[in-house]
Amino acid sequence: MTTAFITGATSGIGRAMALALSEAGYNVYAAGRSETALKELRSAHPNITPIAVDVTDRDALEAAVGDLRIDVLINNAGMMPPLGNFADMKMSDIDATLEVNLSAVIMLTRLVVPQMRKRGAGHILFTGSSAAHIAFPNIAVYSATKAAIAGFAAALRADLSADGIRVTEIVAGRVETQLYKGILDTNARAAMYAGNTAVQPEDVAKMVVALLDLPAWADVTRFDIMPTRPTTPSGSK
């Protein structure tokens, strides 16, 4: 059975991917910080193994990966700092965003890549953002981390394609997730997702299942998934 390791699997896109891949027959290791949400995931499908871990805890993450054979790595965990002008950002928020969205992603990828290269196969996916490719106000550091992920994914592909390892960047536009839960009030979030025009996490998950089903010689290097109807700049993933 093909094994997938997904970070940030307790909500939003990560949870949707964990459920969709388990339904598709994958053995899914779902990593996240909420033990309650992880238990719920485990009860939702027998192919899901929950792993309670903070991706910024390097020792804990290395122990969690351990000797697992990972065929598909999905670097999905991420955070959005408080919205606002870069000049007013707290250094602690800058540090946290860089650590979660970039450093932890690179570290986990480094832990998993050697085993994939040894087998001559594997697929690494990154949940990116339209904010990596289009300039929006009030999210400068978040945009920087996602742009770094885009560059890392492209260069990683150049490093690993000769070893049969595929790399995909998921470029998500407005997806209705919990990303803004802690930084926008209920009314602001309702306005952001008004009219049922946002992409749903399940839509992204369907795309991931489809591209993973392609033959090994076909690599979807990047896919963009955006709302059909126009959105305002504040609505990036």
Catalytic residues: 142
Please give the sequence-ordered ranges of beta strands (E in DSSP) within the chain, or none if there are none: 3-6, 27-32, 48-52, 72-75, 122-127, 165-172, 222-225
Identity (one letter) of the amino acid at 57? Answer: D
Angle 204-209-213 (CA atoms, 0-180°, nearest 5)?
145
Closest by CA position to 196, among listed 227, 225, 224, 173: 227
Which residues neighbour 201 within 8 Å (Cβ) at sequence distance 6 or greater? 12, 13, 15, 16, 17, 175, 176, 177
